[in-house]
Structure 1
């Protein structure tokens, strides 16, 4: 996971946007209603770092980390803050923030700036602050700031800092290229093939035959608890309700039906529709010439082809529709012509219309009695939607006023249910057969973003049909399960661990004596314990790359060895040791594959750009006075990961 953080922030794209990302992340998440306020309980307002006297406060740091964590968690729902911290995520965010401050300070020192108008445009461009008309909505912006506990000045300063950094990093990394001759050896590596042999020494061959003692097992479990760690689990208590429960409350009167019929009388009145074909040309002369050809016996398609055009079939259109889509003049001309004729050319904003009337259909009007059922159903559906909206709004108001889930369920006669312990992906460690269907698909994404003391939540399960109201009843922090529940598994792992060291000695001995494939075969055959057969390997880098990370580790090792060498590699889960011998390297010539050479140049150009960006960032940090506060950083980490609660 940490490789993902680093690869993103060090990539060409990542370097260009990471500063804006850090500047806007709090605002973006505030607008998305993601918890992570600017206040930070339990930690003072001291700075975790100072850059030329400009401090990164603990509150700012913690909120940025929390919001970044939530974004990464969307890609890996089982990620928890402790794992995020252990894999370097928090440190990576801090370094990016320090870099942003340092770049901003350096930019200001050389006269760069970001105007108020530029900052305004960045704020206005955030999708979350746009209203229904697609324009910036200041009310949404103010509400988001208030909800997140941010000030406009703070947000503007963060955006300005990001823009300054952007002005430095983008020119430094944009358009980097590598010469063909420099890229040629790297492109040749992609065509390279390798041949070798892989043997395996299993730990099980040396595992103790007797069971471990209680002390041995407990000691092994204590040292290796992280291997058995179960991610954070949550227990949900919830109730669901469907909107059909409100149907009895919906009554439709004759007066309402009559009123709706009157409002839409034009829709139900008798009307005439015409099946039309159309051409649009720029001048009246051209339109009249084409119309004359058609009226003279030419087909619409032939006349259009002669003009370098193609007719468009408009289908059945009423006069009102044609007026709306073209112009009153076009509609009047079309509805004045007879069936099978071309209407007198008329003009719209698009040009001159040549329209042929293929047929005329008279549509009879519909009486109130004929459409009564349809109108009644429409009114009932609209009333039902409004009833549901009023009910859910009332529920949200009651929740905001502190009503408990139990009280709401009692008042509304809802049946409460309790889920098993669930991971963020919906799986249940205690119930492997559990399927997170129905309401769980709506509740889980929300449930794993809530704090311990969060109140009940209302979610929509099926749009307009089903809702769920729930709360997080219990949170089981990530931890190993009780030893008793996985005793057999731990005992097997202990046995493999004991055999692993003896297997390593044999594997090292075989590797030391195996200078050729024949030597390896002889050593494996003569081993003091029976070993699996040797696997012959012949593959190339293109095949490896196509497997997209699913390459067995010993095969991957084959491509990082010198020809004629033998290496030892530990197998997964302490199962034993691989002995890998590389017998031959088949070199590739990329000069004969220009497409590959060009693609390699492009990729290496991105690597060069990354290096330019990293070097520039290091230089900007060196020109500023950066002081980190390890004690404050530790307090933030402890608070975010829950270590203060555990202690």
Structure 2
């Protein structure tokens, strides 16, 4: 898994994909919860890197890393921050940011300019912003930004950088081709056949003779304690505070009247509008369309003549339309009569022309008509408030030193205790019953509490009730009793010692082979029954076409020099392989062999990627990139909690 991350961050093709195409880094990396918290002692303006005259702030780096981690964790929920960072994210993400910014700075210095109309055009092509009809949807656009906590300015800047990078890097890759002469050499490798053998010295033939004392096994357990330790488990003592402890609550006439008065706009009549929308890149273009209209009804036809397309927009209210367009566009639309065209007026995507197709007005709803509806709302609010007050009283009692049992008793709440749980909320005993959802939500908090800690209170999983909780029984992580695991320890210890003896025996065999003996003759030096030597006659093409994981001894053989022999450890102390490569046969291939053309096609993109990478490195050297390791370390420490 970690190697996979490293390949992603370090490969030339991954680099070109990042820099050369509009990928919306902001949308891809940013997550919905990154904008609401402070940065904990690191000034947001402090730089982690300087690219030319531009800076990458600690806050931007932190947001990008956090978003990248969230995306990776969506595919691998068990991924930890440390695993993510060990996979190359610390440098990989920052390198991508500096490379992208360097290319953008170089593009600006050399006269590349990205206009608002081009950015707007790219926005309309992004699938995330398109409605069911495949057309750009302002509503989908705003929803996507709101979901990810992004501003339109950030997205437009990201698009601008991506477009500039594409304009700079793609031309460097056009026409790149892998040389046919080199492709022929690569293709010849597939016709290569290797002849040799694989011998195996199993640990088991030595392990059977090993005797283990209790003292040796205890020492082995001490050295391998983590391998045999059971995870920490805790039982959770808890009580639920819900509405069952409340007395009857009902809305009074006065409360209903007050609610109606305070929320008058909600029950007032509304004005719904349906518009035909046309967005143009400049005000002059919008005025040109407007001047060609002999009547508002022709707007769609005139747009088609100019190669443009209109869209229909509906709005339930001014606020609804403002969210879809802008306050300025909304004001213009609501100042326009039915059948007329509003605009041109500047909006988020360009200059808007809005024809008002229909206006539907609804009348006010009197108090009598909505009394029951309001009564339900007020009653629900009172119940929620009463429960919150009850929870607040319970919290005050806990803070005053009352125990969980005492508080639960005062609230007539039942106290329960779970079975032993693991930190992930699952039962330690597989036969245990299901863990209540309210408890699962607080299990990690329970594992963070010290033994004897005061009980805590939190909102329960349903969002409506509250849970009082504390750790009950705590069983630390430790191996089971020695007598209980002695057979497993004895088997593992013998296997380990047998592997050491097998290694020494394999060294003896290897030395004999290097002196000229055949593998079969050398294996006779081991005075035990060993598996027969396996001959190997295999082509690289057969190895590649196996469509399964290549056995380690074969992988080693196809990386060795002719006439060599090597030793390879088998997994889990199972023994040692001795790989002997006798000779290598490589057949010539015809000039018109289709394998050559296929190799050219397959390796061509790598050449383009290499060209893009070299250009990017040259641009970085020209622009100048410096990193602030102190700030980088501070960001990583803050994200991992190692401050």
Work out whether 1:161 is the aligned partner of 2:134.
Answer: no
Shift of 1:110: 2.1
Conserved 8 A contact 1:568-1:579: yes
CA–CA distance in 2 between the matches of 1:142 and 1:127?
14
Shift of 1:127: 3.4
Distance 1:29 1:12, change over 3 A: closer
Work out whether 1:525 is the aligned partner of 2:524.
Answer: yes
Local SS of the residue matching 1:88: helix
Number of the residue aligned with 2:75: 75
Residue correspondence of structure 1 range 110-129 to structure 2 within 5 A: 110-129=110-129
Shift of 1:21: 8.1
Shift of 1:485: 8.5
Conserved 8 A contact 1:51-1:627: yes
CA–CA distance in 1 between the matches of 2:38 and 2:460?
23
CA–CA distance in 1 between the matches of 2:529 and 2:389?
69
Conserved 8 A contact 1:25-1:68: no
Conserved 8 A contact 2:9-2:88: no
Number of the residue aligned with 1:600: 599
Number of the residue aligned with 1:619: 618
Shift of 1:511: 1.6
Shift of 1:579: 0.8
CA–CA distance in 2 between the matches of 1:613 and 1:231?
49
Shift of 1:601: 1.0
CA–CA distance in 1 between the matches of 2:550 and 2:510?
22
Distance 1:66 1:520, change over 3 A: same
Number of the residue aligned with 1:504: 503
Conserved 8 A contact 2:509-2:519: yes
Work out whether 1:51 is the aligned partner of 2:51.
Answer: yes
Work out whether 1:565 is the aligned partner of 2:569.
Answer: no
Distance 1:638 1:598, change over 3 A: same
Out of 208, 214, 221, which is 2:224 matched to? 221
Distance 1:160 1:566, change over 3 A: same
CA–CA distance in 2 between the matches of 1:628 and 1:219?
44
Which string of whole-angstrom CA distances, capped at 9 and with x for unpartnered residues, describes residues 20-46 of structure 1?
78973443466x857676754454422
Local SS of the residue matching 1:71: helix
Number of the residue aligned with 1:63: 63
Work out whether 1:546 is the aligned partner of 2:545.
Answer: yes
Shift of 1:48: 2.0
Work out whether 1:24 is the aligned partner of 2:20.
Answer: no
Residue correspondence of structure 1 range 425-574 to structure 2 within 5 A: 430=428, 482-484=478-480, 496-515=495-514, 519-548=518-547, 550-574=549-573
Which string of whole-angstrom CA distances, capped at 9 and with x for unpartnered residues, describes residues 137-161 of structure 1?
4455456555655443333323322
CA–CA distance in 2 between the matches of 1:474 and 1:542?
62
Distance 1:180 1:502, change over 3 A: same
CA–CA distance in 2 between the matches of 1:165 and 1:145?
23
Number of the residue aligned with 2:212: 210
Give unmatched runs, 5+ long, in structure 2.
241-376, 395-407, 449-455
Conserved 8 A contact 1:200-1:534: yes
Number of the residue aligned with 1:251: none
Number of the residue aligned with 2:184: 184
Distance 1:152 1:551, change over 3 A: same
CA–CA distance in 1 between the matches of 2:37 and 2:140?
18
Distance 1:511 1:219, change over 3 A: same
Shift of 1:134: 4.6
Conserved 8 A contact 2:6-2:87: no
CA–CA distance in 2 between the matches of 1:470 and 1:184?
71
What's the TM-score, normalizing by structure 1?
0.58
Distance 1:630 1:642, change over 3 A: same
What's the TM-score, normalizing by structure 2?
0.58
Local SS of the residue matching 2:560: coil
Number of the residue aligned with 2:343: none
Which string of whole-angstrom CA distances, capped at 9 and with x for unpartnered residues, describes residues 494-533 of structure 1?
6555554443333233223214996211121212554333
Which string of whole-angstrom CA distances, capped at 9 and with x for unpartnered residues, describes residues 449-471 of structure 1?
xxx99997989xxxxxxx99999
CA–CA distance in 2 between the matches of 1:233 and 1:64?
35
CA–CA distance in 2 between the matches of 1:497 and 1:230?
22
CA–CA distance in 2 between the matches of 1:538 and 1:435?
56
Number of the residue aligned with 1:289: none
Conserved 8 A contact 1:234-1:474: no
Local SS of the residue matching 1:87: helix
Number of the residue aligned with 1:200: 200
Which string of whole-angstrom CA distances, capped at 9 and with x for unpartnered residues, describes residues 278-309 of structure 1?
xxxxxxxxxxxxxxxxxxxxxxxxxxxxxxxx
Shift of 1:59: 1.9
CA–CA distance in 2 between the matches of 1:91 and 1:517?
49
Conserved 8 A contact 2:200-2:577: yes
Give RMSD over aligned pairs: 5.5
Which string of whole-angstrom CA distances, capped at 9 and with x for unpartnered residues, describes residues 357-401 of structure 1?
xxxxxxxxxxxxxxxxxxxxxxxxxxxxxxxxx9xx99xx99xx9
CA–CA distance in 1 between the matches of 2:37 and 2:126?
20
CA–CA distance in 1 between the matches of 2:170 and 2:232?
40
Distance 1:149 1:71, change over 3 A: closer
Aligned length: 469
Which string of whole-angstrom CA distances, capped at 9 and with x for unpartnered residues, describes residues 86-108 of structure 1?
22233211221121122222222
Conserved 8 A contact 1:233-1:421: yes
Conserved 8 A contact 1:22-1:97: no
Number of the residue aligned with 1:632: 631
Number of the residue aligned with 1:643: 642
Residue correspondence of structure 1 range 238-637 to structure 2 within 5 A: 430=428, 482-484=478-480, 496-515=495-514, 519-548=518-547, 550-591=549-590, 594-637=593-636
Number of the residue aligned with 2:256: none
CA–CA distance in 1 between the matches of 2:133 and 2:460?
29
Shift of 1:435: 12
Shift of 1:578: 1.4
Shift of 1:3: 3.7
Conserved 8 A contact 1:25-1:67: no
